[in-house]
């Protein structure tokens, strides 16, 4: 049915709306020619290259190539699956925008986020509003996270918590950077690491905590500088710089070290 005055078309049964960037499939579509968009309210899907996006309601803007999905949103992609209540997808840039509670799962990572975006071709992503990223035996929570999967590098900003879910060791700070190809990671701005051992906690604080990694992301060398402070219930200490070398399992305190243990002080 087409109304020539309002320029609104209503189409039923096996509807397909297609351009050179994606194809929409549904059983009932209303298309508004004045605004150049179509919508479905009883279920539909968008197929764009290797991604398939389904929802109960959808709004497809043909000029901007934006698709807004509402209710029971599901994305199937060769590299990930995604579920949400609200989602925006641009078929031109092939970018998914999270605008509500969203769960994203890939082979070795799960992400819970309420605000962010993911570019399906470059695999670059940004997550905001205290998103949670689960990766094998770790959990990362931060105000915002930027990650480039193909380059294997990322940054986190604001009230960061990185937790080892096996040992319960945790790293905190307001800025963190990770680069798997260059084999390093560091935290700064109120950086602190907490080690859990034998039911007790060791707290270590410094301006910067730096780690050099091997090919399986194991720490080979760890540095804390400057103004390193550490404490546990049975000893405390400080120094200008601390070094840990995995090869000999030794911790070295450099630049005016002081160590307190019980009633003893070591200089």
- pLDDT tens across 108-163, in order? 889 999 999 999 888 899 999 999 999 888 899 999 999 998 888 999 999 999 99
Q: Are 119 and 94 in contact (CB under 8 A)?
A: yes
User: In this model, does residue 30 exceed pLDDT 80?
Assistant: yes
- CB-CB neighbours of 133 under 10 Å: 22
Task: Give how far the C-alpha of residue 177 lies from the chain's centroid of Cα atoms, to the nearest Å.
Answer: 13
- Return the bridge partners of 24, or none: 17, 46
Distance CA 37, CA 222 (A): 55
* CB-based contacts of 83, cutoff 8 Å, min separation 6: 73, 74, 75, 102, 103
pLDDT greater at residue 224 or residue 165 = 224
pLDDT for res 215? 81
Output DSSP code: residue 249. T
pLDDT for res 168? 84
Largest CA distance in the chain: 92
pTM of the model as a whole: 0.83
- Return the bridge partners of 175, or none: 157, 188
pLDDT for res 18? 82
Task: Give how far the C-alpha of residue 161 lies from the chain's centroid of Cα atoms, to the nearest Å.
Answer: 13
* CB-based contacts of 199, cutoff 8 Å, min separation 6: none
């Amino acid at each position: 049915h087409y109304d020539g005055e309002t320029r609104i078309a209503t189409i039923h049964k096996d509807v397909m709306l297609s351009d050179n960037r994606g194809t929409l499939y549904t059983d009932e579509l209303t298309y508004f020619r004045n605004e150049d968009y179509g919508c479905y309210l009883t279920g539909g899907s968008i197929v764009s290259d290797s991604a398939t996006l389904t929802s109960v309601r959808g709004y497809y803007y043909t000029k901007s190539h934006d698709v807004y999905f509402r209710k029971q949103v599901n994305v199937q992609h060769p590299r990930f699956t995604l579920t949400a209540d609200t989602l925006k997808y641009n078929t031109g840039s092939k970018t998914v925008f999270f605008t509500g509670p969203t769960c994203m799962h890939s082979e070795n990572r799960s992400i819970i986020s309420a605000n962010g975006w993911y570019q399906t071709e470059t695999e670059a992503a940004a997550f905001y509003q205290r998103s949670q990223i689960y990766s094998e035996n770790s959990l990362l929570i931060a105000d915002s996270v930027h990650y480039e999967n193909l380059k294997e590098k990322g940054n986190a900003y604001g009230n960061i918590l990185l937790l080892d879910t096996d040992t319960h060791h945790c790293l905190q700070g307001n800025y963190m950077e990770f680069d798997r190809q260059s084999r390093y990671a560091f935290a700064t701005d109120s950086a602190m690491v907490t080690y859990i051992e034998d039911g007790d906690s060791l707290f270590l604080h410094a301006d910067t905590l730096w780690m050099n990694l091997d090919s399986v992301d194991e720490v080979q060398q760890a540095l804390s500088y400057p103004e390193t402070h550490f404490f546990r219930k049975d000893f405390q200490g400080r120094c200008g710089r601390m070094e840990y070398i995995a090869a000999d399992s030794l911790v070295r305190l450099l630049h005016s070290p002081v160590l307190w243990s019980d009633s003893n002080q070591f200089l």
